[in-house]
Structures are given as structure tokens and as C-alpha cells.
Chains A and B, each alone.
Chain A
Amino acid sequence: MLVNPSGLLHLQCQRPAPHSYSMKHPRQDLLTHPVPFFLSFSRLFRAPATLLALCLGTAAVAQAPAPRPEVEQFTLANGLTVIVKPDHRAPTAVHMLWVRVGSMDEVDGTSGVAHALEHMMFKGTPTVKPGDFSKRVAALGGRDNAFTGRDNTGYHQQIPAGKLEDVMRLEADRFANMQWPDEEFKREIEVVKEERRLRTEDSPRAMLYEQATAMTFMASPYRRPVVGWMSDLDAMTPNDLREFYRRWYVPANAAVVVAGDVTVAQVKKLAEKYYGGIPARPVPVRKPRAEPEQDGMRRLDYKAPASQAYVGMSFKVPKLEPADLVQPASPAAGAQPSPTAAASRDALALAVLSAVLDGYSGARLDRALVQGQGNERVADSAGSSSGLIGRGPQLFILDGVPAEGKTTQQVAEALRRQVALIAREGVSEAELNRVKTQWVASETYKLDSVASQARELGSNWIQGLPLDGSERVIAQLRTVSAAEVQAVAAKYFGDDQMTMATLLPQAVDPNRKPRKPAVAIRH
């Protein structure tokens, strides 16, 4: 790797994260997780704590409760939601605009349009020339970027607090008045294709993930990649973007989140001034496009140049319905239980199961598969993750990389054996307490970053969670019992709702000629 020994006030030049979320620009890595923060827990914990990167999100204990954050939310007359989280530790602020539209709101033939639109939102309005948005934010001393996911699109600026009004004016302007010549689109769509090549096409595991997702889901729009299929990018037109923008960028489908050295009154005034005048329009009706039940195992093999094989198994599982969080799963006597209450409860238990399997270093999967305690080791890495919440259907994923001389089949069997072991014998109270402790602690550590608090508030709004959604989820997770974990381990891990995707490594031929672009190039 390139040597970069200085850690001091060094202008960052980070490479893009290897997969999944698409940002307008690879350099700022600040806001790359347009998912509820708790979804990333098990992955977070698996990352080794490195020297210069203290990991957020580690443990703490019940006797050190986090202070209750002071947050306020209100709705403008045109339907736009505004969320304010004052934090006066530093004279800086984060301003984010969240739109409840992502790749799941696209239709076949124009996959990737939500993300391409996000790129083009930097290309101007009648009063701001192409490229000037970022120039102006930079001149304010700020940093800006954007991201697109399945469920949402987000735009954000970090700025000295005194410059909040300037970025609110700029953001409201492009939310209402995006306008650019077709020429700008023709250049930028080539940038988007380069992004697809970088993040997906040259990464065998990203390609495997893309294809496995397309097989796991049939009717659900989750089956399409966020960045879009290459042939859809090739065929995309400027008007595809403009129509998508007109349709979905309406005030009632968006939330502004401001966190940092601001007051609620000040943000309220500015929001009225800059966003309040945008005309109200109806949010388009969303069709359910429900995923049909899966009745039988699906398998996918993917061949790519690599030396390590990889196997991932995804199981269709229930998700937590936001309504069940507001109306707790065990309602007071006399109240009507919600029809999704049991499924929501299972989703919570599955999140705990994943944490017990893979929530800290040396947890069950690591011990059994990587260390090979009491047995021969079969994997160089092994993991699990649980979807828990999202606008679309959720998955529980078990995955691993075989150790030398072992097969993906051995890894897959060993992963499922660990779940079966819990189904048979349950989990210990010590394990349960350990993972709950970590969730509670993260509530204190997360206060150090205003940006991540803003991200969490926006992401919770996208999912329809209340302002204190994260605390409610953690409070609910803490009530999950060992018996509930055991029950979901027995219930959701059969063959019939599973998709198994295997990466079959192929030898790299160093002298093979570089490939031609797969499709005709547009100029």
C-alpha cells in the first residue's frame, strides 16, 4: 500500500469504499451509510480496532446512561419535515437534505436514475452555474457530498455554523430549481459509469453481491443495483432524470436535518425562509411490489479472477415495522396487538442472534470457524448480519472465506451448524449481556460526532421511525430473551428461504489483453 505516515492536519485523500453505496465523489468518506445506524453494528464490530481509527460503537454498561439528546422536529406548511439537533461543543454545523427516494423507487430500464440524478444535482439551477455549488460551499469553508441508497438519497454540507444560511439557500434552490443543459449530463453519465466500473465491475465480491441480490429478489425493487445496470446507464437520457426529479423531489417527501451549533428558532426561521416557499405537491403513490414467498433454495455460482473463494447465504426474514416500535410489541392489557407485532419481535431477536454470532471479536463464528476451537479451522473469515429494518424486505446473511484447503461447502455447513447449535442449546446470559452492553454504550460514544447524529436522525426519518427511534430500538433489543434468540435460530434458517451465492476463483492470466468495453460507447 501507499505510505502515508503523517497524521496531522493532512488533506485527506481517501479511496472510495469498495462497495454498496454510491457517493457523488470518492474523497470525503464522512457520510457513506444511508442506513439506520444499528444495521451496521455487526460489521462495525468485526473491524479490528486500528491505531489511528478508534472505532465508534463499542461497548458500555447500563450504569452509564447516555444523556437524552434534545431534538426537535416540525413540518412546514408545504409538507417538508425539519429536524434540529443543537450541539454547541464546536462552532460547526451539518446540514442534510434527505429525500425518501432511492433505487427501490426506480423501474426497469432506468435503473440507476436516482443515483445519476444525485450526481446531476451538482450541475446547476437558473442562478447557480454547473460546478458552482461545490465551489460556493468550499468558499464558505465547507465540505459537501451526497449519497444514494436503496431507500433514500441524501445531500450534506459540513460548515462553520455561521454559514448555515448560505447552504440552506443553496440546497433549497437546487431541490426546487435543478436545471442544466444536456451536455452536462453527457459528461457526467460517463463519470457514473466509471464509478460503476470502480466499485462493482472490478470487485469480484461486489459483482457476486449484485448478482445474488438480483436472484434473491424477484418482484421487489431491491433486486436492482443502486448504481444501475450498465446497459441502463448507456441508455439513460437527460429527461429520465428530469422526470424522476419532478416526480419525487417534492417537499412532503423530504426532510432537512440540521445538527450542531444552531438553535431551533434560528433553523425554523431559515427553513421557512428558504424551503417554505417551495410549492406543495402530492407524493406519488408507491406500489407495494411485494416479494413473493420463496419456496425452495436458490443457488448462484460466479466465476472471477481471485485467489480466495467466498460463500454468502441469505435467508429471508421479517423486519421491524416502525409502528411496532412506537406501540411496543407487548401492548398494555386491553389494547389490540398489531398484526406485525410477532414479526417485529422476531426481527429484534434476529438482530441479537447476529450479534451473538459475530458481534465482537472472538464471538461464536470467529471461534468456531476461524480459530477452529475444538475442531479444525475451516475459514479465514466468517460473519453474519441482520437487516432488521428497511423500506423493502430484509435478509439475514451468513458469509465466509474458506481457509486454504477448505471448500465453500465446508464453510457454509459450519456457518449453519453454529445457528443450529443455538437453536438446540440456546445462548448464555453472559453473551446476551455482552451484546446488549455494546448497544447501550454506543449511545454515549456516538455523541462525539455531530455528523453521525445527523445521519442517524435522517435515516430514522426515512424509515418512519420517531425522533428517539434509535433509543427505542435499543430499549427493545435489551428486552430480547435467550429463549427468543433460540426460537428464531430454529425458525428462519431452513433451505427453502435461502439463496446461496458462491464465488469460484479463477486464475489470473497476467498476459491476457485488457477487455474491450462491453457495450458501445456514447460520445
Chain B
Amino acid sequence: MTFAIKNRARSSISIWATGIFCLIFQAGALAAIPIQQWTQPSGAQVYLVESPAIAMVDIQMEFDAGTRRDPAAQAGLAGAMTGMMEKGLQARNGAPALDENALSEAWADLGAQFGAGATSDRMGFSLRSLTEPDLLDKAVALAARELAEPAFPDAVWQRERQRLQASIKESYTRPGSIIGRAYTQAVYGTHPYGYQVTEETLSRIGVDDMRKLHANSVVACRARISMVGAVTRAQADVIATRLLARLPQVPCDSLPPLLEVPEVAPLAQADEKRIPFDSAQAHVLIGQPGYKRADPDYFALTVGNYILGGGGFVSRLTLEVREKRGLTYGVSSYFSPGLHAGAFTVGLQTRPDQAVQAVALVRDVLKEFVANGPTEAELKAAKDNLIGGFALRIDSNRKLLDNISGIAWNRLPLDYLDTWTQQVDKVTVADIKAAFARKLQPDKMVTVVLGSP
């Protein structure tokens, strides 16, 4: 990128030289965000946004092997497995073995970074590299090896397990962790979203389990690859092919189908847990199972929650609990929609002697909001912020990548970002009221209070 190119691009037709963004927002109206999407012969889906302004690329590769697929007795398996993928490579196909330090040095020397991890739904791998051809070439080659040929050395796992177990033990002394576990369990019951990683579940995980999980889940035909950066479609296709090239190339229909994961059960009745704890603040979590990402109420709930407790300083909860009464530093509400109904949660911390008051206040605000919805003025303020500030959600490669991989993961239409502000604009007070009434039952929520007298 040079500034000469940028300047020319802003005033002429060679707009691509400045990156995608000027194109998107030219002439006041939102033009399309050009997401290119194709399926490779392996079955892998590729999503690309070309963003040539900076000589770098960000890539995300995701598989349906998040922690929701962990066996209950081995909760933490997906996280442990992805963590161990960074701990060394086997010798294979003419490439030498690399131990954990040789591997991390190789990444450092390339100026690239590879990451692996698992969330509730997704198992994913990320690569950030400069696009200088020689470097990118080597980074893609190393990523392909790391994806396909992890060594899973047992001695390293024994050590990493000790460290994980020690940090779990430490978390049992921290108020935020203790209440988080209790709340998760109360909201999700036996659903995998509620599985707790413990010293015991880790002790049941061995490197053979990791090898099995790796072989079954990191499969080319099921990969969803998202890319944002200074690469063309042709380059992106070659990169995606090379990233997956060392994995077994088998069609998905020859593989055993993925097992169905059950849905989160709604709560039958309200539940209140009190956890005694000696801390400077009481912690409060109130909530219930929320909704799935595919739910048609998504936009009404997103806009509604901005008003209720998602919108920072201007939300109802912040106004009532913090601004009017000074009871807390932070109070918020959020939904966590995923492949299953992730939790709706309100959280705050307050001086122990104020906890009872704060809980009653939050319940009142919730009840009122679910019963009556927002005011027209609140809805207008929410739309002003969400629609007016849409560009802030996609103004870097990294933010864009998060959005693109979300589209890929949730199989959303390619014009999802182009229609996002229209979808927000369509939401009415009645929509929000109806959607909240469908999703939230204030009289059946879980309340967990830690450290209140």
C-alpha cells in the first residue's frame, strides 16, 4: 500500500486499490460488500473478501467440532486437543518432525501466527500472515502441516494437563469463576453447553482421544474457510487447497454422519441459588436459555437487548442500576445464540449489602421490559446507534473476518451484511415486545447470588 495509490483510487475508477471499504460506502448508499463464495473439489467452502490495502491476510478455518460434541465424562477434550495441536508435528510425507519449540520458532521466524481453539459450537484454526509471496507460501505450508500432522506427544500433555488442573483449582477460589459455573449448570442442566471442565474430566483425557477426535473432525470436506486480505480469488483458492492438502481427501458422504446434539431444555420453574463467599463484592447472574442463532426473532431480540442491557451507558439496566443509584460499575444483559439456545444473562457486581436491592431492581426492569417492550423513543435511539454505527462493525480486516466467518458458519445469505441495517430498521416496538415475550419468562429464571450476607 502506498499513499499515492490510495489517493488515486479515491478519485478515480481504480477504487479497488484502496480496499473494499470505499466501494461499499460510495455515494451515500450502501453498495454490496463483495463476499465471494465457492466450493472446492474437496467439499470445503471458501468465503473471501478481497482487501488489498495492507499487505497481510487473515484466514479462519472452522469445523463442526466445538465443545458441544465433547463426551460428558471428557469435558474439555476439544479445547485440550486444539491446544495440543500447537505442541509439535510428526515427521510425515518427507517433512521432518518438529517439537513444540521448533514449531513456535518456525512461526516466529516467519512473522506469521497460527492459532487453534474451540468454542461451544466451532473448532477453529486461524492464520495471520504477511502476503509477501515467499513468507505467505511458507506460512501456508506450515499451517497445512499443523492442521494435518500434529504429534500429540504424551509427555507434553501430562505437563499441560497439570497446568490446566492447577488453574482450574485456582478458579475455584475466584468469585467470578465460581458463580459462572453454578449459573451455567443451572441454566443448561445436562446439555453440553453446560458441561464443566474439571480436574476429573481432564484426567480422563489421553492423547489417543485427541488423535481420534482430530481424525474425525478436522476433515477437508467439512471445512469452512474465511479469508480477508490482500489476496485475489485465484490466490485464495490455491491457499485454501494447500491448507487442506495434507488432510485425507475423502468425500463427506463416505464419512459417518455427525451425531445430532439435543436442544437445550427450557426451565420448568424459577430457581434461586445462594453461594456464601467472602468477597468485597457480591456477584449476581440472572437468566435462562435464550434462542438459537437461526431464530427468525434474531433482529428483534438484538435491537431489544441493545435497549435493555446491551447498549453500554445508554441501556435501561445501566441507567437504573448504575446511573440512578450508583450500585455497580457494570451491569449488562446479553443473549448467546448458537446452534442451540444459548443463555440470556443479566450480570452485575455490587457491595454485598446492596445485593438484595440490586436483584430486586433487575427483576423489576426485566419484568417491565418483557411485559411492555421499549418505548418508541428508545427504539429510535437504538436504531440511530445500530444503523448509524454499522460501519464500525466492519472497519478493519479483523472485524470483517469475524463477520464473514459468522456468515459461513451460520449459512447466512451472502448479502447478509448488505441488508443488516434494513433488517434493523424494520424492527418495531411490537416486534420486540412479542419476541421478548416468546423468549423470556421472568418468572422462571435462574438467579445465582454469590457473597451476599
Cα distance A474–B58 when bound, in Å?
24
Q: Which of A91-147 contact B (CB under 8 A)?
A: 91-92, 122, 131, 134-135, 138-144
* A interface, size bucket: 35 or more
CB distance from B292 to the nearest CB of A (A): 9
A58 near B113: Cβ-Cβ < 8 Å: yes
Residue among B3, B108, B319, B338 making CB contact with A6, cutoff 8 Å: B338
A360 near B104: Cβ-Cβ < 8 Å: yes
Measured CB to CB, the nearest residue on chain A to B303 is A11
Given A51-B126, A198-B329, residue A9 in contact with residue B393 (CB < 8 A): yes
Q: Which of B168-176, B204-212, B232-240 contacts A (4 or more CB under 8 A)?
A: B168-176
Q: Which of A25-33, A75-83, A419-427, A457-465 contacts B (4 or more CB under 8 A)?
A: A25-33
CB distance from B425 to the nearest CB of A (A): 13
Cα distance A516–B282 when bound, in Å?
11
Residues of A within 8 Å of B105, CB to CB, are 360, 362, 434
Quick check: is A329 within 8 A (CB to CB) of the other chain? no
Cα distance A27–B329 when bound, in Å?
10
Cα distance A90–B397 when bound, in Å?
10
Residues of B within 8 Å of A2, CB to CB, are 180, 183-184, 336, 343, 345
CB distance from B224 to the nearest CB of A (A): 12
A380 near B167: Cβ-Cβ < 8 Å: yes
Cα distance A8–B416 when bound, in Å?
11
Quick check: is A332 within 8 A (CB to CB) of the other chain? no
Quick check: is B306 within 8 A (CB to CB) of the other chain? yes
Given A122-B313, A141-B392, A362-B100, residue A16 in contact with residue B398 (CB < 8 A): no
Given A5-B342, A139-B385, A510-B277, residue A64 in contact with residue B329 (CB < 8 A): no
Residues of B within 8 Å of A89, CB to CB, are 18-19, 21-22, 51, 53, 395-396
A362 near B21: Cβ-Cβ < 8 Å: no
Q: Which of A3-52 contact B (CB under 8 A)?
A: 3-11, 13, 15-16, 25-28, 48-52
Measured CB to CB, the nearest residue on chain A to B353 is A517
B276 near A3: Cβ-Cβ < 8 Å: no
Given A195-B329, A202-B281, residue A7 in contact with residue B54 (CB < 8 A): no
Q: Which of B271-303 contact A (CB under 8 A)?
A: 276-282, 293, 302
Quick check: is B406 within 8 A (CB to CB) of the other chain? yes
Given A13-B310, A59-B107, A59-B111, residue A158 in contact with residue B170 (CB < 8 A): no
B381 near A138: Cβ-Cβ < 8 Å: yes
Residue among A3, A381, A512 making CB contact with B193, cutoff 8 Å: A3
A434 near B350: Cβ-Cβ < 8 Å: no
Q: Which of B321-355 contact A (CB under 8 A)?
A: 322-330, 332-334, 336-340, 342-343, 345, 349-353
Residues of B within 8 Å of A515, CB to CB, are 278-280, 352
B277 near A16: Cβ-Cβ < 8 Å: no
Quick check: is B384 within 8 A (CB to CB) of the other chain? yes
With most chain A CB atoms within 10 A of its CB, the pick from B103, B188, B323, B394 is B323
Quick check: is A483 within 8 A (CB to CB) of the other chain? no
Given A92-B395, A194-B350, residue A141 in contact with residue B389 (CB < 8 A): yes
Interface digits, B347-380 against A, CB 8 Å rule (1 contact, 0 not)?
Answer: 0011111000000000000000000000000000
Q: Which of A503-517 contact B (CB under 8 A)?
A: 505, 508-517
Cα distance A445–B230 when bound, in Å?
12
B332 near A8: Cβ-Cβ < 8 Å: no
A380 near B330: Cβ-Cβ < 8 Å: no
Residues of A within 8 Å of B169, CB to CB, are 307-308
A54 near B293: Cβ-Cβ < 8 Å: no
Cα distance A59–B117 when bound, in Å?
21
Quick check: is B202 within 8 A (CB to CB) of the other chain? no
Q: Across the A-B interface, how many residue pairs have beta carbons closer than 8 Å?
A: 376
Quick check: is A280 within 8 A (CB to CB) of the other chain? no
Quick check: is B135 within 8 A (CB to CB) of the other chain? yes
Residues of B within 8 Å of A202, CB to CB, are 175, 279-281
Residues of A within 8 Å of B407, CB to CB, are 8
Cα distance A50–B123 when bound, in Å?
11
A508 near B312: Cβ-Cβ < 8 Å: no
Interface digits, A50-83 against B, CB 8 Å rule (1 contact, 0 not)?
Answer: 1111110011110110010010000000000000
A134 near B314: Cβ-Cβ < 8 Å: yes
Cα distance A511–B324 when bound, in Å?
33
Cα distance A266–B410 when bound, in Å?
42
Quick check: is A265 within 8 A (CB to CB) of the other chain? no
B398 near A449: Cβ-Cβ < 8 Å: yes
Interface digits, A399-411 against B, CB 8 Å rule (1 contact, 0 not)?
Answer: 0010110000000
Given A2-B183, A90-B396, residue A362 in contact with residue B334 (CB < 8 A): no
B388 near A201: Cβ-Cβ < 8 Å: no
Interface digits, B97-133 against A, CB 8 Å rule (1 contact, 0 not)?
Answer: 0001101110111111111111111111110101010
Quick check: is B163 within 8 A (CB to CB) of the other chain? yes
Quick check: is A148 within 8 A (CB to CB) of the other chain? no
Residues of B within 8 Å of A7, CB to CB, are 119, 122, 402, 405-406, 409
Residues of B within 8 Å of A290, CB to CB, are none
Residues of A within 8 Å of B124, CB to CB, are 51-52
Quick check: is B420 within 8 A (CB to CB) of the other chain? yes
Residue among A88, A380, A401 making CB contact with B18, cutoff 8 Å: A88
A48 near B388: Cβ-Cβ < 8 Å: no
A448 near B56: Cβ-Cβ < 8 Å: yes
Residues of B within 8 Å of A470, CB to CB, are none
Residues of A within 8 Å of B302, CB to CB, are 9, 11
Measured CB to CB, the nearest residue on chain A to B338 is A5
Residues of A within 8 Å of B328, CB to CB, are 191, 194
A449 near B119: Cβ-Cβ < 8 Å: no
Quick check: is A345 within 8 A (CB to CB) of the other chain? no
Q: Which of B213-246 contact A (CB under 8 A)?
A: none
A160 near B388: Cβ-Cβ < 8 Å: yes
Quick check: is A306 within 8 A (CB to CB) of the other chain? yes
Residues of B within 8 Å of A138, CB to CB, are 311-314, 381, 384-385
Quick check: is A190 within 8 A (CB to CB) of the other chain? yes
Quick check: is A330 within 8 A (CB to CB) of the other chain? no
Quick check: is B42 within 8 A (CB to CB) of the other chain? no
A8 near B330: Cβ-Cβ < 8 Å: no
Residues of B within 8 Å of A9, CB to CB, are 302, 393, 403, 406, 420
A139 near B351: Cβ-Cβ < 8 Å: no
Measured CB to CB, the nearest residue on chain B to A57 is B113
With most chain B CB atoms within 10 A of its CB, the pick from A88, A193, A403, A434 is A88
B110 near A59: Cβ-Cβ < 8 Å: yes
Quick check: is B391 within 8 A (CB to CB) of the other chain? yes
B111 near A67: Cβ-Cβ < 8 Å: no
CB distance from A44 to the nearest CB of B (A): 11
B391 near A92: Cβ-Cβ < 8 Å: yes
Quick check: is A437 within 8 A (CB to CB) of the other chain? yes
Cα distance A32–B83 when bound, in Å?
27
Given A3-B184, A138-B384, residue A403 in contact with residue B166 (CB < 8 A): yes
Quick check: is A188 within 8 A (CB to CB) of the other chain? yes
Residues of A within 8 Å of B107, CB to CB, are 58-59
A514 near B327: Cβ-Cβ < 8 Å: no
Quick check: is B430 within 8 A (CB to CB) of the other chain? no
Measured CB to CB, the nearest residue on chain B to A440 is B111
A-B CB proximity, top 5 nearest: A141-B388, A5-B338, A8-B406, A49-B115, A60-B111
Q: A89-B19, A197-B349, A514-B282 are in contact. List 7 more A-B contacts (CB 8 A).
A: A3-B336, A7-B402, A131-B313, A141-B385, A142-B389, A403-B162, A447-B54
Can you report 28 A-B residue pairs in the complex whose CB atoms are below 8 A from each other? Answer: A5-B119, A7-B402, A10-B337, A16-B330, A51-B123, A54-B115, A60-B135, A64-B111, A88-B22, A90-B395, A134-B314, A135-B313, A141-B384, A141-B388, A141-B389, A143-B312, A158-B392, A187-B325, A189-B326, A191-B326, A191-B328, A193-B351, A307-B173, A308-B167, A367-B101, A434-B105, A444-B56, A449-B396
